[in-house]
Structure 1
Amino acid sequence: MQILAGIYFNGPVAAANGQIDTDVLTFQNAVKTFGVDRYVGLTVGNENSDSPENIMNKVGQVRDILRGAGINTPVSTVHTWVAILNNNLFCNGDFVAANAHAYYDYNTPADQTGNWLIHNVVPMLRNTCPNKQIMITESGWPSAGNVNGAAIPSLENEASSLLNLNCACRDDRSVTVFAFEYDNSLWKGTDVERSFGLFDNDIPKLEYNGDILAHC
């Protein structure tokens, strides 16, 4: 198994500097334990609210620390695909890491999730950040919550969404896509945000071989 590791923090970079630097040391120790080949990348922040300048400056500092320690793991940050399109400073990491959920696009139904992502979102990211590796770090569908135009949360639509996502990824194998997410996040504030999990309290919500990994 290969891992995209992440350093998560809330609030401005300046207030989290100590935590981030501690987590960089934790990552260095993990590389020593499990080997550099285990990690496809390291992200610093996920949809963080600080300025692009501050976030990317910290990404550069983390990269310099790792390079000084002889670790060449690619380093970037994660943001929404719209935020990246709106500010190409987010292109300055070693790769582009974008969260892109078709549910939040008013016009996209569940069974078009992958087509929307691969044939709409990815080309726009490539146009904004040419010659950069693209990673889609979150893409999924909620099984509960409010209807958003053509986007209807349900367990059936979550399965349909992930099947279409899996199938559409065949069209561009250069893009790494991470299905979101392993387990329902019951600590979050709305039914939609709580219900993206493939599992609910470690109990499977979907059948992999019958739903998500069915023949395309």
Structure 2
Amino acid sequence: MKAAVLAAAAAMVAGGVSAGRSHGHRHAHALFEKKGLNGTDEVCKPGCTTIYSTITGEMTIVPPAPKTTSTSVAPVPTTTGPITVPTPIPQTCPTPGTYTFPATTVVVTETTTVCGATTTQVPSGTHTLGGVTTVVTTATTVVCPVATTETQNGVVTSVIKTTTFVCPSAGTYTIAPITTTVPSVTTVVVPVVTTYCPGTYTAPAVVTTVTETNVVVYCPFTSQAPEPTLAPAPTSPAPAPAESSPAESAPAAPAPSLGTSGKKWAMTYTPFTPEGGCKGAEEVMSDVAAIAGAGFTTLRVYSTDCDTLPNVGAAARAHGLRMIIGIFIGKVGCDNGNPDVAEQIAALKEWSQWDLVDLCVVGNEAMFNGFCSVSELTSLITRVKSELASVGYNGPFTTTDVVSAWIGNDVSSVCSVIDVVATNAHAYFNSETSPSAAGKFVAGQLSIVENVCGKPGYVMETGWPNAGKCNGVACPGEAEQRTAIESIESELGNKVVFFSFRDDPWKQPGDCDCEQHWGCAKVWGL
């Protein structure tokens, strides 16, 4: 994605296919393995050289958090001039009293990357935070913007630097994190790369009362680029274009309303036996009953093999669950002539139980694995939308991939054909993330992806292995899995799909000895 990179201060913000179709069934199995999210069996630790090229900007002190006692929002926005990106606006209150700050609207005309901030609470000790996590499949050199801090004359400043990162082998690497030492429990400001897509952003008017002197209040931009509006309907009947496609003539997709108000949303489900065969309808029904009993509202399925649609669909209907359906793309590629993709589309069209479906996911890490170019994926999503619209599905679409695929490609065309953005985020494969920090890691990954497209985002896979080898401080185990999943659930359980229901003994263990052990049902007593 084309980006104009700027430097700015970090600021704390207030606020029915036959089960006998074994080729597709086995083919999907191989891709469901995690393998470090890098396509290899290795869990690698960083050991690379970092070469910096600074993009300079104005030095600014990182300010204290605002101290306010009450806040209310006034409705009428106004437009101001000098601000070029929607970073929170600092407003100084020199004496106690009630202050009114007018609304501000910023129009971003091109994709712009700046140095933003997030906050995290850490215990006493030395901590490594932030940076950019990337996954590579071979020895390579990565060039990307990273947010970091500099200290000059006692002033700490957040800046963006272009980093050339030499990766000696396949693996997961955290590029240019910051290290901080604190004497006690402290809320730390961590610089992050923040991308703003073209659109209109509004900071509402704020009326606030402060009780101390020299308080700095931040007015964040809470309203991002609006969804495109539809042209008004004609006042009299008009004939349809002579050659309109089903996708062009179908009603526009409604605004997505996904997730849940609670802390449990969805679970991935693959109807495979421990030996790698296909489960029957009764066994699927029993599994789905258990998932529903644990309080989940939604199931994510990847493909249409193993009679997934009729069996899982019937079980979901019987137990009141929603479904996230999928088109699975494998090593044969994702061009429109792919027969495996064509079979899945045909199966979905035959099934057509759209009243159960909340979202359609076209591709699972297809860009990262090199199965789809950006243009091929864009074309395929457009085709699937057209095909499913012809049989009545007008719900939202997305594709899901790891963060490195979203930020490492110009994905603007993909962003234009999806309704929500999605990522797969597994904190275990970051060697510096302990189980208790898994929720913060996953939330950070989601935030990055949401900024890429400027659309609401969801995590289509996240979890923690219950057995295997330690990857730095990321150690697997039943207790560690419980800690990690509770951390993720607490942080953003209403927006994540947990991976996975049961262990998968049919998989190869991998160098991490963890591939078979992502089943998390025991965490909820199942």
TM-score, length-normalised on structure 1?
0.81
| In 1: Cα distance, 2:387 partner to 2:336 partner | 19
Q: Whose radius of gyration is greater, 1 or 2?
A: 2
| In 2: Cα distance, 1:42 partner to 1:188 partner | 26
| In 2: Cα distance, 1:2 partner to 1:81 partner | 26
**Which amino acid in structure 2 is aligned with residue 208 of structure 1?**
W
Contact 1:44 1:77 in 2 (8 A): yes
Give 1:181's aligned residue. Answer: 500
List runs of 5+ in structure 1 lacking aligned partners.
Answer: 200-205
Q: Spell out the pairing of 1:10-159 with structure 2 (5 A cutoff).
A: 10-11=330-331, 12-14=333-335, 17-31=338-352, 34=353, 36-48=354-366, 49-50=370-371, 51-89=373-411, 90-92=414-416, 93-118=418-443, 120-130=444-454, 132-159=455-482
| In 2: Cα distance, 1:187 partner to 1:57 partner | 34
Give 2:329's aligned residue. Answer: 9
Q: Deviations over 1:49-81 (max 9, x none)?
A: 222221221111111112233310222222112
- State the shift of 1:207 in Å: 4.3
Contact 1:97 1:135 in 2 (8 A): yes
Q: 1:133 to 1:75 in 2, by over 3 A?
A: same
Q: Deviations over 1:88-132 (max 9, x none)?
A: 5243422212100011112111111112212x11221122110x2
**Higher relative strand content:** 2
| In 2: Cα distance, 1:133 partner to 1:41 partner | 13
| In 1: Cα distance, 2:337 partner to 2:432 partner | 38
How many residues get paired? 195
- State the shift of 1:16 in Å: 6.5
| In 1: Cα distance, 2:461 partner to 2:410 partner | 19
Contact 1:56 1:77 in 2 (8 A): no
- State the shift of 1:196 in Å: 0.8
List runs of 5+ in structure 2 lacking aligned partners.
Answer: 1-320
**Which amino acid in structure 2 is aligned with residue 52 of structure 1?**
V
| In 1: Cα distance, 2:439 partner to 2:491 partner | 5
**Which amino acid in structure 1 is aligned with residue 431 of structure 2?**
Y
Secondary structure in 1 aligned to 2:503?
coil
| In 2: Cα distance, 1:108 partner to 1:85 partner | 21
Q: 1:187 to 1:87 in 2, by over 3 A?
A: farther
Contact 1:88 1:129 in 2 (8 A): no
Greater CA deviation, 152-161 or 183-192?
A: 183-192
**Which amino acid in structure 1 is aligned with residue 380 of structure 2?**
K
**Higher relative helix content:** 1
Contact 1:102 1:113 in 2 (8 A): yes
Q: Which stretches of structure 1, 4 residues or longer, exceed 4 Å deviation after superposition?
A: none
Cα RMSD for the two superposed structures: 2.1
Secondary structure in 2 aligned to 1:45?
strand
Contact 1:8 1:45 in 2 (8 A): yes
